[in-house]
Structure 1
Amino acid sequence: MVDGSLAPGRPGIAARWTSSAKSGVGTALSFRSPLWFTISHGILNEIYYPRPDNACTRDFGLVVTGADGGFWEEKRDASHDIEAMEKGVPAYRLANKALDDAWCIEKLILSDPARPCLLQEITFTPLKGKIADYRAYGLLAPHLVNAGMGNTAWIGEYGGVPMLFATGRGTSLALACSLPWGARSAGYVGVSDGWQQLRASGRLDPDFRRAEDGNVALTAEIGFSEDARTAVLALGFGDTSDEAAEHAIASLSQGFDTAAKAYLSEWREWQAKLVPLDRAGPSTALDPYRVSTAVLATHRSSQPPGAAVASLSIPWGSAKGDDDLGGYHLVWPRDLVETAGGFLAAGDAEEALQILGYLETIQQDDGHWPQNAWLDGAAYWPGLQMDECAFPILLADALRRAGHLPEERFQRFMPMIEKAASYVARNGPVTGEDRWEEDAGYSPFTLAVEIAALLAAADLLTLSGKADAATYLRETADCWNEQIERWTYVENTPLAVEHGVAGYYVRIGAPDTADAASPKDGFVPIKNRPPEASSLLVRQLVSPDALALVRFGLRAADDPRIRDTVTVIDALLRCDLPQGPLWYRYNDDGYGEHDDGAPFDGWGTGRPWPLLAGERAHYELAAGRREEAERLLGALEGSANAGGLIPEQVWDGEDLPDLELLHGRASGSAMPLVWAHSEHIKLLRSLKDGAVFDLPPQGIERYVRSKTISPYRSWRFNQKTASLPAGKLLRIEVLATAMVRWSLDGWATVHESETQEKAFGIHIVDLPIADADPGASLVFTFFWRDAGHWENANYAVAVLQSSSTSPARE
């Protein structure tokens, strides 16, 4: 029976999330327990149910009061130590000691494998005085589901058991305790919640029993005594409050030790199946490899299987409210494929196969994947990344080459692969933003992924008996590969002169609407950019993304252009920190804290990324410098926190302890970043194998060894090339049957050529202009056969002097 006594202050202050700097993340390896939890500052933060994209709490910690008016908040007024209960298992032992040495709180935290219930075994020890001098209160902030506003909390009971409840958006929670509750309260955050009451008067108001439709909090005194210093708190979840209460009571009834035994056993069994990539370290309790594998497994979903979020965190969460529903607990197809690569490197091929199967279910009808999405596949951001459309192809091919996807199995995925290859071939190489979700244009990283994916798809299509489609994909890959330098490589710029190099790859090049401002002129225009943004590009933006040309097999590690680019990258983007060198994403990056430490609010200053040390280490290994790769592995691992979690970015400024920003340690960005942990696992595997683990072999063979070049340049309506070198054919590619009328002498002589359907609904014709002299101008138009009308526009392509720059220059 719910008491109707309403707390004052509805709806409370504006809801906010909490720190993204997690010290622990965990879940049970059981489909019966769809619950994920996070820890920072010695307390629980977001708890997710029934999927890892549904955050249901802000935080859950303790407040302690003293007989002499003392007031301590566990997360603010104590030191915090954390360690895993067992190596490789995300169950945690926490020790929180009051900064004035008044008391110590020890916790064991894990989830019940038998049901969606979070368990804390809490021991309270007074270090000054006796236990009767203190009162300890549990303080829980529900944020059901992905929102802090619009929740209702109340004090009640279930089956005669006193409990605390909350509900919102069709999900409920219930909190029970193994010791008798003392005073209990429900209130509005910032006005009448338990923290406010205890801070003001040292007691809870018994009349505050319900808080409706607002930013709410629940508070209750834990009945610690001299004879009972340990309590178990059970936080159950369900579709209804009754279901949540049943789960909490059932967990309490079976006991913490029973749940812990099953939880530890399941994780121990899973870890035992993995490839042993462990390295001896200074701590026997913390094995970075096992932490990384646990991070990957903790971020996956049981329903739907194969889904995994990018991070169980909300970057700069304390400054984010209900308008940031997703945080990083969303699916990014790119990150998901990188996660699959980590599982594959660790020896869990079945999990990588499940990820491929999940990607199949959320692929859009036209073949692309959302930029990011909820676990049910519903798009969150509206953008498009072409590399995210190509990555799943590479995953399928990697599984096939490793023997985990034999023909009878990979044929199931061929419709997905064909649709993805079709989308990339029809819409690439420029459509969409770069991998950092920002500018549209030619990105070395995206180009590398697209081209590698086309070659991989061609192999899969060949095995499926579709030789014509495979040939078209290889021809398209060849054409794009040959133009990577034209699109993204610059020479003789002030930056090149300053650093004593011939040139370098830029972060992103212009859409190929004309050759009037070629990258080789030292300026990379981006259409639809404001003048102030274009001025940044005049100074040339560079990025470690260029190393993807090596990582995906399109250029040799010792290619002079790659080496020169590394020189510029290191001059502009390298940051030497106590753990070793890390790199910024690109110069003038705005994703990070402000220089005064204020949180990112749509703009800021980009900080160094540990992930990029892993990518650089893979480049060094490809270049034959194993010792340097080992050193960079140390920088990557050295960027982790005490719990072994690797952040998205680290702080590169002077220490700002009041903002918890310390030089070389985690910034307020996402932590852990699953992609970084996957890169860590792949680097360990690469070092063990003596070769880059996820390097696709097709590009190496075709472009580095065989030095394949393309006989043509292509023209499309979404890529109207304005010129081509003398000696090349011009391939016209359109999406309907057409007759192309063309001339090389201003229509004095007219030629007509018919298109032929090649593959994927693309109709092509190769215009035989290889003998045209430099300086000639090709003009052409279309008669659309099916529609029966002329294009009513002429298009022109200039024939230029043949370039001396080879795509495979040694």
Structure 2
Amino acid sequence: MTPVVRAAVDVVPLPADKQAFGTARSKASPVWFTLGHQGLSEIFHPDLSTPATRETRLLVDGKPGQAYTEPADDRSLTFRQRLRGDGWRAEITYVTDPQRAAVLADVTVTAHRPVRLSVEHVPMKGSSEVRSTLPTQPVRQARGTFAVGFGAGVAQAALDRGFHATAKEYARGWHTYLDGLKRPKSADRRLYDMSVMVLAATEDKANPGASIASPSFPWAFGFDRELAPELGPYALVWPRDLYHVSTAMIAAGDTGFAQRSLDFMLREQQQPDGHLPQNTKVDGTPFWQSVQLDETAAPLLLAWQLDRRDKSTVDSLRRAADYLLSYPNAPFSEQERWENQSGYSPATIASVVAGLVCFADLLQRNGEDAAEYLNAADAWQRQVESWTATKTGPYEPKPYYLRLTKDGKPDAGTEYNLGDNNPADIDQRAVVDPSFLELVRLGVKRADDPTVRNTVTVVDQQLKEQGYWHRFTQDGYGETKDGGPWNVPNPVRTYGRLWPLLSGERGEYELLLNQKANAAQRLKEIAATANSGLMLPEQVWNGRGTTSATPLAWTHAQYVRLAWSLDRGAPVERPSVVADRYLS
């Protein structure tokens, strides 16, 4: 059969709600596949910041079918799609070849009448080839394999080896990996194993420690070449996401992943002045370069989790800590963790305070003086409420934490525009955000602190819907009202939907209040958002994932971390040295 290959053009990428994501454990196979609703969607090669193909689909009489995706093996990233069309059905199983840069698809077709089979392949850029053993003549039944390869003869070599042998080696690699890890009692077995494998698969093979946020390109990031010239930014490395994934992997028993992540932060991402950029490509090249102080604090926190006190690490951490102290008007940040506003953010301040205390502990255990870092952390911990909790805002009970203040004056009616297609400015006292719980999770404030409890009540009144939470008041990062894609600038109002990872953060808070049943319910709520391929999304609406980034590594990490926290009865990632300092 001769596959149909469409020329590489600047096409609109497919919807970001991927149904599956896979790769071999082997470094000899620098290729990753995603599955959409009709077959293979973007394939990444030679690294995870480079989508090399747009889609590769089985066509029956020139038309694709609609696919249902499911794991073909609960303990490997092997996936099966069941497709249906007019008078025919097919079953396709996907793996990558552990020995080379090729994706293989094993195909079985059954039809009520003779049908012609072909494979449509659309490269994104560069070169790739498709080879197939499917029949060329009309058939009622067929069995064969097609392969997408990168490099001369790679696809044919993968076919020559055979799908069965390749799939067996592919599965064995993931089985061996999972066999070396632990599994918590609190989690759904299938979703937990899938989450750990997805997290492991987000690490680039040529750049150890570089874990991307998601192998997808939602909304404007998929089609607006001015906003995202190279289809970013989710297929990039964000220090914040990398920290959350790394702490989940520590809990799961893959400490090596976290060690490599810290190395990547400090050797590839850290800039000469000590700060970490907003995100980078997997080779460490900065992409977006706004300053987010919580991301510069991330390696301070991760190094403490790993007890990394060697001279090279401490020297790099010192540059990050010094940057935090010297940043103009710190802990004011150019951007907070939702990345579209500057100001004094409770979540950012929590990260910075905890990061400085953790770094100070590493210094003191090395016999060094840490007074300047502790003095700054203590001062900011004392002032966070005066900077960010309002007594004059429109909600009850008061005082409550705001998403952020522009001026460190939470009782002032300072207005700002939220962006993301919001039509008008808004009083900062009217904007709340569940992210303030970072103060509790990181040990900066008590779980039963009155202002914390007030804010929980306000956030639930303003942001909780359908059992989940919005990021902040009037969040516009999402869809149009009818589910259409987000873009900027866009005269159409857009709406941020509900973020499952926030349920995980609430569960960690509830554990600190000894509300274990509530926390267990949060874990189930995250699990309920998984699609049929067990991929967890960035956003949900009406009980289903939207066309937001899926799988989102941060969501999978939150599922893993909350599961272990439930088993242990307390958040596994909370730095005890911070809690001991401020809460004892």
**Range into which the TM-score falls when normalised by the shorter chain:** over 0.9
Kindly provide the CA deviation profile for residues 419-442 of structure 1, in whole angstroms up to 9, marking residues without a partner as x: 111111111311320101111111
Kindly indicate whether the alpha-carbon contact (under 8 Å) linking 1:278 and 1:287 is maintained by their aligned counterparts in 2: no
Is the aligned partner of 1:454 residue 2:356? yes
Kindly indicate whether the alpha-carbon contact (under 8 Å) linking 1:315 and 1:327 is maintained by their aligned counterparts in 2: no
Specify which structure has the higher proportion of strand: 1
Kindly indicate whether the alpha-carbon contact (under 8 Å) linking 2:416 and 2:428 is maintained by their aligned counterparts in 1: no
Is the aligned partner of 1:26 residue 2:13? no
Is the aligned partner of 1:464 residue 2:460? no
2:89 corresponds in structure 1 to 104
Q: Which of 384, 391, 408 in structure 1 is aligned with 2:298?
A: 391
Kindly indicate whether the alpha-carbon contact (under 8 Å) linking 2:8 and 2:122 is maintained by their aligned counterparts in 1: no
Kindly provide the CA deviation profile for residues 135-190 of structure 1, in whole angstroms up to 9, marking residues without a partner as x: 0110111002xxxxxxxxxxxxxxxxxxxxxxx3xxx211111346x5xxxxxxxx
2:527 corresponds in structure 1 to 637
Q: Which of 454, 463, 474 in structure 2 is aligned with 1:588?
A: 474
Is the aligned partner of 1:566 residue 2:456? yes
Kindly indicate whether the alpha-carbon contact (under 8 Å) linking 2:8 and 2:124 is maintained by their aligned counterparts in 1: no
Q: CA deviation at 1:88?
A: 2.6
Is the aligned partner of 1:355 residue 2:261? yes
Kindly indicate whether the alpha-carbon contact (under 8 Å) linking 1:15 and 1:321 is maintained by their aligned counterparts in 2: no
Q: How does the TM-score come out when normalised to structure 2?
A: 0.93
Kindly indicate whether the alpha-carbon contact (under 8 Å) linking 1:15 and 1:322 is maintained by their aligned counterparts in 2: no
Q: Which of 377, 383, 406 in structure 2 is aligned with 1:477?
A: 377
Q: CA deviation at 1:502?
A: 2.4
1:763 corresponds in structure 2 to none
SS class of match (1:56) = strand
2:77 corresponds in structure 1 to 90
Distance 2:428 2:365 in 1: 46
Amino acid in structure 2 at the alignment position of 1:313: S
1:298 corresponds in structure 2 to 201
Indicate how the Cα distance of structure 1 residues 590 and 318 shifts in structure 2: closer, same or farther if over 3 A, else same: closer
Kindly indicate whether the alpha-carbon contact (under 8 Å) linking 2:134 and 2:144 is maintained by their aligned counterparts in 1: yes
Q: How does the TM-score come out when normalised to structure 1?
A: 0.68
1:520 corresponds in structure 2 to 411
Distance 1:704 1:49 in 2: 48
2:116 corresponds in structure 1 to 135
1:124 corresponds in structure 2 to 109
More deviation in 55-64 or 450-459? 55-64
Considering only CA atoms, is the larger Rg found in Structure 1 or Structure 2?
1
Distance 2:347 2:292 in 1: 11
Kindly indicate whether the alpha-carbon contact (under 8 Å) linking 1:583 and 1:608 is maintained by their aligned counterparts in 2: yes
Number of matched pairs: 569
1:72 corresponds in structure 2 to 63
Indicate how the Cα distance of structure 1 residues 310 and 481 shifts in structure 2: closer, same or farther if over 3 A, else same: same
Kindly provide the CA deviation profile for residues 52-90 of structure 1, in whole angstroms up to 9, marking residues without a partner as x: 11001111112211xxxxx6322xxx3x22222211311
More deviation in 681-690 or 352-361? 352-361
Once the two structures are superposed, the pairs formed by residues 129-208 of structure 1 within 5 Å of their partners are 129=113, 133-144=114-125, 168=126, 172-179=127-134, 182=136
Kindly indicate whether the alpha-carbon contact (under 8 Å) linking 1:310 and 1:675 is maintained by their aligned counterparts in 2: yes
More deviation in 671-680 or 247-256? 247-256
Once the two structures are superposed, the pairs formed by residues 277-426 of structure 1 within 5 Å of their partners are 277=184, 287-316=190-219, 320-323=223-226, 324=228, 325=230, 326-362=232-268, 363-400=270-307, 405=308, 407=309, 410-426=310-326
Kindly indicate whether the alpha-carbon contact (under 8 Å) linking 1:52 and 1:309 is maintained by their aligned counterparts in 2: yes
Q: CA deviation at 1:108?
A: 1.1
Amino acid in structure 2 at the alignment position of 1:51: D
Q: CA deviation at 1:377?
A: 1.4
Q: CA deviation at 1:537?
A: 2.1
Indicate how the Cα distance of structure 1 residues 233 and 598 shifts in structure 2: closer, same or farther if over 3 A, else same: same
More deviation in 502-511 or 608-617? 502-511
1:510 corresponds in structure 2 to 406
Structure 2: tracts of 5 or more residues without a match: none
SS class of match (1:356) = helix
SS class of match (1:601) = coil
Kindly indicate whether the alpha-carbon contact (under 8 Å) linking 2:186 and 2:566 is maintained by their aligned counterparts in 1: no
More deviation in 254-263 or 595-604? 595-604
Structure 1: tracts of 5 or more residues without a match: 1-5, 66-70, 145-167, 183-222, 238-243, 513-517, 652-662, 706-810
Kindly indicate whether the alpha-carbon contact (under 8 Å) linking 1:224 and 1:230 is maintained by their aligned counterparts in 2: no
Kindly indicate whether the alpha-carbon contact (under 8 Å) linking 2:134 and 2:142 is maintained by their aligned counterparts in 1: no
Q: Which of 609, 622, 639 in structure 1 is aligned with 2:499?
A: 609
2:142 corresponds in structure 1 to 229
Indicate how the Cα distance of structure 1 residues 586 and 529 shifts in structure 2: closer, same or farther if over 3 A, else same: closer
1:700 corresponds in structure 2 to 579
Kindly provide the CA deviation profile for residues 90-133 of structure 1, in whole angstroms up to 9, marking residues without a partner as x: 111221122x4x1111111000000100101111111x13xxx2
Q: CA deviation at 1:327?
A: 3.8
1:541 corresponds in structure 2 to 431
Amino acid in structure 2 at the alignment position of 1:494: P
Specify which structure has the higher proportion of helix: 2
Distance 1:529 1:124 in 2: 49
SS class of match (1:394) = helix
Kindly provide the CA deviation profile for residues 618-643 of structure 1, in whole angstroms up to 9, marking residues without a partner as x: 11111110000011111111011111
Is the aligned partner of 1:487 residue 2:378? no
Indicate how the Cα distance of structure 1 residues 545 and 524 shifts in structure 2: closer, same or farther if over 3 A, else same: farther
Distance 2:573 2:516 in 1: 17
